[in-house]
């Protein structure tokens, strides 16, 4: 492929490693660890990899040296900026330890391991991908590595290629599965180490020991660029309300970070909506009140950030969707009725609460809830255009307010959804450094002979040369959760903490931002300019460090 | 407002003026000019400002000096990156010529002149806006300055503030009106010069003497960043077709420039569709064939760029819309019928051709054509989600192909519309320099005592210090066109020329791009890096220079 001028210039960027990783390292073991909850259950499930110590790497004066090793790498799940640099760092680390080492990439996600699809990643290939966005070096996929048969099938190709270490780059689910795989290979004496790397633009894979997942920095900066541009347009034209939905179904970190970066008039945080047991109408009224108050000041324009997963965090909507799934599953004749008959049936058959919620929805959305169903017969919540749903309901609410004489403004909404625009952006300096260090560090964990660990860098608000490197036993992040009716050991997903500093800072400011128009315009990610422009970590990371 | 780190760093950027403008200038007059067409008619309409010579500024060794002048400035129409720099350049130019000069900004567009709403733009204000995006320094608006009463009303405030020169920053319509205003003020001896500046992200204000409008460079680079990011995602995930609509109703320059930057699988150029008299179904079949061919290679993914104005360039759709406007205007009872009755009535009442087209549209779109009407009762074409219309029809066509055994792939479309994301981006180095020079140059035109001129910089593919500065009589760009039933003098809108090098380069490559996946990922606009990353003009401008 033809390279853009930026790609060519960026190829020359040398990510800055933590100073501890620039030569040989000494492995320093901490105390045995415990899982964050359900210790007894998890210990039983992971007899071979539970309770391992945290590992710190410290600089050693010796020359770096180790055995040659054949390693495999897998990209799992949705794209995140910097994935290529994890692989580049891993490659460079392996080669630094021993020139004879080799790296294989399994193609199109975990499925490539099971189906024995792979390429060898040579220096020529690696050099094409340094500091680039995307996962296209080997592709990614959503196959879940969960079953013994998959593990055994995978082991065949690992044995065939003499691979003794596997690095899985993924989100909370993929790292959960990495730990299960590590335990299994240890148990059967397969002789294959498994190391995880924390990836997801959603920012929901983080905890006491993992400060952030990679990709969150670049993705939120890309979305903030666009939100800032829209806000400048909004403030220049002074006639539109922009409803902007942001990717991230399971947590609102992206919306929160973008709000901290751009200071919009409204930002909805799903976790707060759930915590306060708000209804959809409550959310609508909250937005409509701000629209009305701004109109009193003559400001018939504004911006609203909406996390993609909002609907699923609203308790009443969650109930409605669950009831609809049940109702329609046992009413196969439903599809043959007219829309009017369907609507009447639904309203009649649901519980009182859900029926009221259903009847209050704009008809198009209500109909969508009964039409688009996934292969399991469930409502496809991700297809609901929440930004349009919300603006339509806000419009209706404003008509009510107008009838009561409480609103005399003009309401012209526009809609945006940002997601795919940020997942494969060229990594920011932060993500380029972080990812490269995660991969390089994974090579050192392989050389240290451990398994079931996640590659870890800490102290991330400092310049990268001061980061602390090591490994965290993945089982340390586990608790038991019900999944498809069964209790399973999983990494706790990090939701937005309402008592955390990032949310608290937002909450303290939002009333002011709502009325005063305090937009910030961050502009596009810069790679070559002054440090204060190019090298700042996210506000989320900066504020979370204040909590430590 | 709180400034972002980038804004603070960018505030220090000093746009690079053409070397001719760095000191005093000599005014060099060319030969008398003629309008591009309808010379006799236009000469009659502009007896005082027709036939003026082009002006070139040449460097003079004298000190720059002139009379103090009070000038006014207006931002007209849609936002475009760099508008603030035009005003900053104008301010600096006026002050350089004489420190006693003053600049007034009329608020929220031409309406501010008529309604006497203004502020004085002082150095403190100006310094807040250097190299920033947006039009928020004084706001913009779409009021058209066309009537004698408006001109007279405006003159009152100009007299009151002792303003003797007015700079209008706008697109083809606004510059047309600027010329009419110049003629009128000259005719009545008002003593007010009028100067235009060429603005529009759409890129359709350009001709033999104006190489490009400002904002096109930054906007298309911002859209290309996003398209490139989506393409990298598309190529990594290998499972979606992205249908991307791009702002620009009256011409396809934006889509074409973005295609040249990013090399998508498909880009529709409205002017070609019109020229070839293609139907909507022809366009759909063209896209569907590419989807099917890529599927044969196992590539069930791709990108399609669609210019916002496509529908209005399709001759059959234009006819359909015209007929619908007529039909519904004389059928007031239409609104009271059921959707099924409405549909039957429309199909029965239209001409055969339009009826066939109407019946072939997805029902939702067909219905939209009869539902959403503007205050004049006309179809609101801009509300049609062309990207969804197209993908739905492509999906239907693929089902037909599948039934014929000609397609066995999987088609999952996603949709995007980019417009507001780019109109207020912080100007690229090109636009920052170009806009500043346009404004500075406008001050020199004022000092030269001329009126009815457009500020002009040429030689734009060279570094800005080598640009050639001067003024072009606006009447030189005029022809007569029918507007609302009357023949009017207007600036010819520049459509994509199918015989021009930009389109020809695209046409020569598109078959390869369609099948081979030749995506380019330009990344975000850079301000501080190497020249080949930061300082390249658009491909359109570069290729058009080859035509000269």
Q: What residues contact A131, with CB distance under 8 A and at least 6 apart? A: A10, A11, A13, A15, A84, A85, A426, A427, A432
What length is written for chain B? 548
Q: Do B237 and A5 touch (CB under 8 A)?
A: no
In whole angstroms, give the CA distance from residue B392 to residue B394. 5
Residue range A25-44: average pLDDT?
95
Residue range A281-297: average pLDDT?
97
Q: Do A263 and B2 touch (CB under 8 A)?
A: yes
Q: Do A232 and B424 touch (CB under 8 A)?
A: yes
Residue B73 near residue B104 (C-beta atoms within 8 A): yes
**In chain A, what residues touch B421 (CB-CB under 8 Å)?**
226, 229-230, 416
pLDDT given for residue A329 in this prediction: 84
From the candidates B8, B107, B131, B134, which should be mutated to test the interface with A, based on the most A CB atoms within 10 A? B134
Q: Which long-range contacts (CB under 8 A, 24 or more apart) does B348-354 make?
A: B350/B320, B350/B323, B350/B324, B351/B319, B351/B323, B353/B316, B353/B319, B354/B316, B354/B319, B354/B320, B354/B323, B354/B324
| Chain B closest-CA separation from residue A521 CA (Å) | 6
Question: Hey, what's the torsion of the CAs at A250, A251, A255, A259, to 10 degrees?
Answer: 170
pLDDT tens, position by position, A160-177? 999 999 999 999 999 999
**In chain A, what residues touch B229 (CB-CB under 8 Å)?**
133, 222, 420-425
pLDDT band at A87 (very low <50, low <70, confident <90, very high): very high
**Beta-bridge partners for A199:** A214
Distances from the Cα of A291 to the Cα of A121, A242, B67, B330, B397, angstroms: 54, 11, 49, 38, 43
Q: Do A421 and B533 touch (CB under 8 A)?
A: no
Tokens describing residue B289:
């064939």
pLDDT tens, position by position, A315-331? 999 999 989 988 988 88
Which of A339-343, B41-45, B135-139, B494-498 bottoms out in mean pLDDT, i.e. has the lowest? A339-343
Identity of the residue in B9, B133, B536 whose CB atom sits nearest the CB atom of A530:
B9
Q: Which long-range contacts (CB under 8 A, 24 or more apart) does A276-282 make?
A: A277/A315, A278/A314, A279/A314, A279/A316, A279/A357, A280/A311, A280/A314, A280/A316, A280/A317, A280/A357, A280/A360, A280/A361, A280/A393, A281/A360, A281/A393
| Chain A closest-CA separation from residue B1 CA (Å) | 6
Closest CA to B53 of B75, B27, B90, B72: B27
Centre a 10 Å sphere on the Cβ of residue B296 and count the other Cβ atoms it contains.
Answer: 12
pLDDT given for residue B48 in this prediction: 96
| Chain A closest-CA separation from residue B142 CA (Å) | 10
pLDDT band at A159 (very low <50, low <70, confident <90, very high): very high
**In chain A, what residues touch B236 (CB-CB under 8 Å)?**
79, 134-136, 139-140, 424
pLDDT tens, position by position, A422-447? 999 999 999 999 999 999 999 999 99
Q: Do A526 and B530 touch (CB under 8 A)?
A: no
Residue range B233-248: average pLDDT?
96
| Chain A closest-CA separation from residue B534 CA (Å) | 9
Residue range A193-204: average pLDDT?
97
Centre a 10 Å sphere on the Cβ of residue B497 and count the other Cβ atoms it contains.
Answer: 13
Q: Do B426 and A242 touch (CB under 8 A)?
A: no
pLDDT given for residue A440 in this prediction: 98
pLDDT tens, position by position, B278-296? 999 999 999 999 999 999 9
Burial of B300 (0-12, 13-18, 19+ CB in 10 A): middle
In whole angstroms, give the CA distance from residue A164 to residue A94. 13
Residue range B148-153: average pLDDT?
97
Among B202, B204, B431, B433, which one carries the catalytic annotation? B202
**In chain A, what residues touch B222 (CB-CB under 8 Å)?**
229, 524
- The predicted complex's ipTM stands at 0.96
For A139, nearest residue in chain B (alpha carbons):
B236
Give me the percent of chain A exceeding a pLDDT of 70.
Answer: 99
pLDDT band at B115 (very low <50, low <70, confident <90, very high): very high
**In chain A, what residues touch B237 (CB-CB under 8 Å)?**
79, 135, 139-140
Q: Do B136 and A235 touch (CB under 8 A)?
A: yes
**In chain B, what residues touch A522 (CB-CB under 8 Å)?**
4-6
From the candidates B410, B524, B538, which should be mutated to test the interface with A, based on the most A CB atoms within 10 A? B524
| Chain A closest-CA separation from residue B123 CA (Å) | 20
In B351-423 the beta strands, taken as DSSP E runs, fall at 413-418
Q: Mean pLDDT of all residues in chain A?
A: 95
pLDDT given for residue B325 in this prediction: 87
pLDDT band at A309 (very low <50, low <70, confident <90, very high): very high
**In chain A, what residues touch B372 (CB-CB under 8 Å)?**
none
Residue range A480-494: average pLDDT?
90
Q: Do A108 and B225 touch (CB under 8 A)?
A: no
A416, pLDDT greater than 70: yes
pLDDT tens, position by position, B19-65? 999 888 999 999 999 999 999 999 999 999 999 999 999 998 887 77
For A138, nearest residue in chain B (alpha carbons):
B236
Q: Do B524 and A416 touch (CB under 8 A)?
A: no
| Chain A closest-CA separation from residue B519 CA (Å) | 7
pLDDT band at B363 (very low <50, low <70, confident <90, very high): confident
pLDDT given for residue B372 in this prediction: 65
pLDDT given for residue A372 in this prediction: 65
Q: Do A521 and B133 touch (CB under 8 A)?
A: yes
Sole residue written with tokens 């990353």: B533
pTM greater than 0.90 (yes/no): yes
Centre a 10 Å sphere on the Cβ of residue B498 and count the other Cβ atoms it contains.
Answer: 14
Q: Do B522 and A133 touch (CB under 8 A)?
A: no
From the candidates B11, B421, B429, B537, which should be mutated to test the interface with A, based on the most A CB atoms within 10 A? B421
For A528, nearest residue in chain B (alpha carbons):
B529
pLDDT tens, position by position, B500-531? 999 999 999 999 999 999 999 999 999 999 99
Counting Cα atoms < 13 Å in the Cβ hemisphere of A319 gives 16
Active-site residues of A: which are they? 202
pLDDT given for residue A370 in this prediction: 83
Q: Do A421 and B229 touch (CB under 8 A)?
A: yes
**In chain A, what residues touch B414 (CB-CB under 8 Å)?**
420
For A263, nearest residue in chain B (alpha carbons):
B2
| Chain B closest-CA separation from residue A45 CA (Å) | 34
**Beta-bridge partners for B243:** B304, B415
pLDDT band at B375 (very low <50, low <70, confident <90, very high): low
pLDDT band at A375 (very low <50, low <70, confident <90, very high): low
If phi > 0 it is left, if psi is from -120 to 50 it is alpha, else beta; for residue B407 that is beta
pLDDT tens, position by position, A224-269? 999 999 999 999 999 999 999 999 889 999 999 999 999 999 999 9
Q: In what order do the strands lie in the sheet with B266-267?
A: B266-267, B302-307, B241-246, B413-418
pLDDT given for residue A335 in this prediction: 83
Q: Do B233 and A79 touch (CB under 8 A)?
A: yes
pLDDT given for residue B338 in this prediction: 85
């Amino acid at each position: 492929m033809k390279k853009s001028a930026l790609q060519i210039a960026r190829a020359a960027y040398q990510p800055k490693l933590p100073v501890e990783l620039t030569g040989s390292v000494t492995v320093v073991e901490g105390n045995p660890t415990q899982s964050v909850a359900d210790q007894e259950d998890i210990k039983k499930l992971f007899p071979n990899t539970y309770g391992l110590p945290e590992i710190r790497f410290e600089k050693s004066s010796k020359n770096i040296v180790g055995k040659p090793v054949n390693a495999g790498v897998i990209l799992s799940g949705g794209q995140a900026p910097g994935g290529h640099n994890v692989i580049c760092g891993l490659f460079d680390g392996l080669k630094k330890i021993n020139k004879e080492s080799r790296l294989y990439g399994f193609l199109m996600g975990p499925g490539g391991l099971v189906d024995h699809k792979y390429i060898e990643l040579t220096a020529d290939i690696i050099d094409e991908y340094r500091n680039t966005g995307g996962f296209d070096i080997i592709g990614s996929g959503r196959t879940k590595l969960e079953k013994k048969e998959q593990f055994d099938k995978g082991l065949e190709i690992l044995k065939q290629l003499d691979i003794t270490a596997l690095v899985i780059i993924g989100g909370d689910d993929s790292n959960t599965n990495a730990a299960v795989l590590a335990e299994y290979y240890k148990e059967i004496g397969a002789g294959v180490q498994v190391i995880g790397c924390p990836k997801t633009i959603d920012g929901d894979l983080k905890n006491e020991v993992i400060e952030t997942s990679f990709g969150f920095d670049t993705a939120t900066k890309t979305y903030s660029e666009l939100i800032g541009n829209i806000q400048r347009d909004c403030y220049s034209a002074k006639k539109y309300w922009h409803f902007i939905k942001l990717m991230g179904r399971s947590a609102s970190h992206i919306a929160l970070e973008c709000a901290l970066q751009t200071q919009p008039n409204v930002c909805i945080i799903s976790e707060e909506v759930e915590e306060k047991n708000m209804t959809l109408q409550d959310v609508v009224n909250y937005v409509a009140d701000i629209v009305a108050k701004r109109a009193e000041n003559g400001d018939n324009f504004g911006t609203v950030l909406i996390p993609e997963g909002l609907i699923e965090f609203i308790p009443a909507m969650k109930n409605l969707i669950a009831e609809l799934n049940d109702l329609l599953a046992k009413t196969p004749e439903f599809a043959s009725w007219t829309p009017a008959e369907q609507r009447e049936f639904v309203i009649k058959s649901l519980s009182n609460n859900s029926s009221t919620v259903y009847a209050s929805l704009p008809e198009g959305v209500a109909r969508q809830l009964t039409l688009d169903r996934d292969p399991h017969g469930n409502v496809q919540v991700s297809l609901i255009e929440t930004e349009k749903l919300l603006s339509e309901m806000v419009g209706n609410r404003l008509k009510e307010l107008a009838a009561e004489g409480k609103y005399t403004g003009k309401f012209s909404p526009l809609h945006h959804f940002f997601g795919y625009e940020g997942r494969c952006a060229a990594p920011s300096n932060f993500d380029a450094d972080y990812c490269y260090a995660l991969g390089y560090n994974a090579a050192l964990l392989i050389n240290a002979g451990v398994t079931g660990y996640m590659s870890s860098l800490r102290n991330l608000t400092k310049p990268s040369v001061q980061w602390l490197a090591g490994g965290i036993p993945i089982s340390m992040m586990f608790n038991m959760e019900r999944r498809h009716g069964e209790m399973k050991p999983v990494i706790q997903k990090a939701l937005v903490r309402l008592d955390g500093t990032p949310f608290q800072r937002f909450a303290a400011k939002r009333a002011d931002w709502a009325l005063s128009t305090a937009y910030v315009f961050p502009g596009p990610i810069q790679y070559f300019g002054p440090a204060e422009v190019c090298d700042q970590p996210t506000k989320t990371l900066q504020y979370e460090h204040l909590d430590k």
